[in-house]
Structure 1
C-alpha cells in the first residue's frame, strides 16, 4: 500500500467526512473562479479596462494570465489534478488579487472583498496541506 493510501485509510477511519470533505472544498473553491473566468471570456474589454484602471501594466497579458488561472488552474483543482500545485497557484492569485484590486481600505465594501480573498486563500492553503483525496485525479497516479 502506498503512503498516500495508508494515510487515506487511517484518515477515513477517523472520520466519515475524510473522503467527501476535500472534494467539497475543491468544488466550492474552484466554482467561484471558473464562473469568474467565464465572465471574463464574455467581456474581455471590460475586464482589460478594469485591469488598466487598477494601474497594472499590460492589461492584455494580465487578462490572459487571469484566464489561465481562473479557467485552467481552477479546473485542475476541481478535478483534483495536481491539487497541491493548483491550490498554491490559486492561493497566490487570491492574495495578489486582493492586494491589487481591493486595496481601498477606507471603503468598507472593498475591505470586505480584501478579507474574503484572504479567507479564500486560507482555504487553498488547507488544500495544499491536505493528504491526497480519494475522489481526485491525484489518487489515480
Structure 2
C-alpha cells in the first residue's frame, strides 16, 4: 500500500508529461493554433507547457506535489472550459468529464500529499 500514491501520481502525470513534450517539440504550430483562437497565443503556449512539464515532473518525483498539482489544475480549468465546451458541442461531454476527473484526482493529491515514496518524504528508493 505504501507505493499506491506513487502509482496514482504516475498515472496522473503521464498524460501531462506527454502533452508538454509534444507541445514543446511543436511549439510554433501549437502557439499559432492558440493564437488563432486566443489573444497572446505564444505566451499562453509557453505557460501551458510550463504548467504541464513542471506539474507532471513534480508529480512523478513526488517533489512539491501540491504546487505541481495546482499548476496542472491552473492549466486544466481554462483549457476544459474553452476547448471542451459540451454545451456548444455535445460530443465534447466525455472530454469535459475526463478533465473534471483529472482535476478531482489532482485535488486528492493536494489533500493527501505525495505519500511515502517521494522526494518530499525523503524516501524515494
- 8 Å contact kept, 1:92–1:121: no
**Structure 1 unaligned runs (5+)?**
1-16
Aligned-pair distance for 1:68? 0.8
Q: Give the aligned partner of residue 116 of structure 2.
A: 134
Q: Give the greater-gyration-radius structure (CA).
A: 1
Aligned-pair distance for 1:140? 1.6
In structure 1, how many angstroms separate the alpha carbons of the residues matched to 2:98 and 2:36?
21
TM (normalized to structure 2)?
A: 0.88
**Structure 2 unaligned runs (5+)?**
none
In structure 2, how many angstroms separate the alpha carbons of the residues matched to 1:110 and 1:49?
23
Aligned-pair distance for 1:94? 1.4
Q: 2:29 aligns with which of 46, 60, 68?
A: 46
Q: Give the aligned partner of residue 22 of structure 1.
A: 5
Please identify runs of 4+ aligned residues in structure 1 that moved more than 2 A.
104-109
Aligned-pair distance for 1:131? 4.2
Q: Give the aligned partner of residue 103 of structure 2.
A: 121
Tell me the matched-pair count.
123
Report the RMSD for the aligned CA atoms in angstroms. 1.7
Q: Give the aligned partner of residue 59 of structure 2.
A: 77
Q: 1:132 to 1:74 in 2, by over 3 A?
A: closer
In structure 1, how many angstroms separate the alpha carbons of the residues matched to 2:106 and 2:113?
13
In structure 2, how many angstroms separate the alpha carbons of the residues matched to 1:118 and 1:124?
10
- 8 Å contact kept, 1:52–1:59: yes
TM (normalized to structure 1)?
A: 0.79
In structure 1, how many angstroms separate the alpha carbons of the residues matched to 2:15 and 2:114?
22
- 8 Å contact kept, 2:17–2:52: yes
In structure 1, how many angstroms separate the alpha carbons of the residues matched to 2:113 and 2:106?
13
In structure 2, how many angstroms separate the alpha carbons of the residues matched to 1:79 and 1:60?
28
